[in-house]
Each structure stands twice: as structure tokens, then as C-alpha cells.
Amino acid sequence: MPVDTSPRTTTWTHVEGEWLPGNPPLIGPTSHAMWLASMVFDGARWFDGIAPDLDLHCQRVNRSAVNMGLKPIKTAEEIESLAWEGIKKFDGKTPIYIKPMYWGEHGSPGSVVSVDAESTRFALCLFEAPMGGHSGSSLTVSPFRRPSPETATTDAKAGGLYPNSGRAIAEARNRGFDNALMRDLNGNVAETASSNIFMVKDGVVFTPVANRTFLAGITRARVMGLLGQAGFDVREVTLSVEDFMNADEIFTSGNYSKIVGVNRLDGRDFEDGPVTRKALDLYMDWANGRSHSHSGE
């Protein structure tokens, strides 16, 4: 039986001047992105009438494109405006994932492996995606590592980086955990397979220093700033697995579910602690007070 290629939730995609429902066939077997992975994307969220830091996500996808060797063909402001236009196509009841994307259609002259920046294409895909819970995630240390900037396109939110995360998650789930704690090539903690990570020890909030082996996220930066403004001591430092095993609290940050508490790391259980709850409260208070609803006008 052929695979059903229709999306699993309501989806709208803007490409080349029009909005298309479902999963439009945009990439063919000769498209550079399909076989040589010249694709970058970003992910923002709309929920409860707000889209926190949408502007920053639209700016970052253009930086990712440049770092992939692609040519941004939309301004960040144009992408943001299109996103609000697309949001109107939904019923407003279910949270939406907002995914701007760039990819290469052809290889460069003289080398099929290197992408031709002039062949860059753009699409903006929006689809319904519930937010998920904020507590109860379990982690295990992954045998797989995050690449360094010398070995992969770590300065872009590139689709080609995610199979490594996918295999880490699959391996962790085969051992009964929800997600994987990933280290860099030096053995220091980088992040989980799908989100940035924080730990709390004696009231101090720590997060791995941004060393270009992982995407130091927009939500991560927002949480660090909000906790700092609230009087917490927030530090970016080099952290070991042992540091996390000895922590009082662990939580993750990411665009998809925002703040999520960790209740288990390998053999140790953790409580959903007060700093984790405060981080979520601060973020949601900021989002609802400072990220204003938008009519798209």
C-alpha cells in the first residue's frame, strides 16, 4: 500500500505567492535538499492569541540560511507578516507550529554537492500541534554525541542535524526513557536530543555554555533573562553529567513545549521543583503580557 502523505493535522503552507492546504509536493527526487540535505527551518508557536518571539524566529531562519550557503529571499518582517496571515486560516482553538523553511533546488556549478545559493526556495508551513505537558520527562545519557562546528552545520537550524537527535531519542526510548541527555565531543553536557537544558543547585540556575555544538535557543535566552530579572543567579558554564546527577532540579526549554520539568535522569528521580515552576510562570506571564495578540492588519 502506498504511504499516505497527507499531514496528520490541519496544515497550510505558503509558497510562491499562494496558500496551499495539506502537504503540497514541493521537493522532487532531483532537488538538492532531498538528497543532499540543504534545508534549514525554524519553529515558532502560536497559542492563546499570542506568538512569543515570533520576530526572533523569523530573523534566525534567515541567519540559518546564510550559514547553510543559501540565499534568504524573504525579509524577517515579510515572514512574520505571512505567519499572522496564515494563523487566520485556523479555527483559533488549537496551538499552531509556525515553520519557515529554506532549501536548495540545485547544486552549484562544478559541484553537485555544494548548493547553488541562487536556487534557494522558501516556504512557510503552519500546522496544528498541541503544546504538551510541562512536567514528567525522563532522561538518560545518550551514547551519541553532538557534533562540533568543524564536523557539521551547527550554526544553522538545519534539518540534516536532526537524524542524530532522532537516533538518540529512539535509543533512549528503547531503554524506557522519554528523551536523551546528549554530550558534546569533549564529554560535557550540551542539551537533550530536542531541547536546551537547565539545572538548579542550591538556588543557582545553571545551563551549558553555548559552545556552538548545540542550538542555543530563543526560548532558552528568554528564560535566562526572565529568571535573571526575577533575582535568580543564572550561569552559563561547562557542566558534566555528574553535575546534573547531583542537581536539585532539572528542566528543559524549547519552542515546542516551552518549559518542561525532568523527573528522572537515569537512576535518579527528581521533584518538580520551585525554580522549574517559577521559570514556567515567568515565561507565561511574559508571553501573555508582552507578546501581544496580532490581527495581521
Q: Mention every residue, 6+ apart, whose C-beta is less than 8 A from residue 215.
A: 154, 157, 191, 196
Q: Is residue 295 over pLDDT 50?
A: no
Give the amino acid at 297.
E
Q: Is residue 215 over pLDDT 70?
A: yes
Considering the domain architecture, whether residues 36 and 174 belong to the same structural domain is answered as no
Q: What is the CATH number of the domain that holds 88?
A: 3.30.470.10
Considering the domain architecture, whether residues 190 and 117 belong to the same structural domain is answered as no
* CA pseudo-torsion sign 100, 105, 108, 109: negative
Q: Would 294 be classed as within a structural domain?
A: no
pLDDT for res 135:
66
pTM for the complete prediction? 0.94
Considering the domain architecture, whether residues 142 and 258 belong to the same structural domain is answered as yes
- Give 161's DSSP letter: G
Q: Note the pLDDT tens digit of each residue in 68-102.
A: 999 999 999 999 999 999 999 999 999 999 999 99
> Which range marks the domain in which residue 141 is found?
137-288
Q: Note the pLDDT tens digit of each residue in 154-210.
A: 999 999 999 999 999 999 999 999 999 999 999 999 999 999 999 999 999 999 999
Q: Would 29 be classed as within a structural domain?
A: yes
Considering the domain architecture, whether residues 72 and 181 belong to the same structural domain is answered as no
Considering the domain architecture, whether residues 184 and 111 belong to the same structural domain is answered as no
pLDDT band at 134 (very low <50, low <70, confident <90, very high): low
pLDDT for res 1:
86
Asked which of 67-71, 104-108, 186-190, 254-258 is least confident by mean pLDDT, the reply is 254-258
Indicate the SS3 state at residue 165. helix
How many CA atoms lie less than 13 Å away from 231 in the CB half-sphere?
2
Considering the domain architecture, whether residues 143 and 284 belong to the same structural domain is answered as yes
Domain endpoint, select from 92, 109, 128: 128
CA 198 – CA 276 distance, rounded (Å)? 9
pLDDT for res 244:
98
Domain endpoint, select from 128, 148, 168: 128
Mean pLDDT value of segment 237-262: 96
Domain endpoint, select from 98, 128, 158: 128
Q: Would 2 be classed as within a structural domain?
A: no
Question: How many CB atoms neighbour CB 21 within 10 A?
Answer: 12
- Cα of 272 vs its chain's centroid, Å: 23
Q: Would 3 be classed as within a structural domain?
A: no
Mean pLDDT rounded to a whole number for the chain? 95
Number of domains in the chain: 2
Considering the domain architecture, whether residues 162 and 54 belong to the same structural domain is answered as no
CA 278 – CA 197 distance, rounded (Å)? 15
Mean pLDDT value of segment 37-47: 97
pLDDT for res 256:
85
CA 216 – CA 202 distance, rounded (Å)? 24
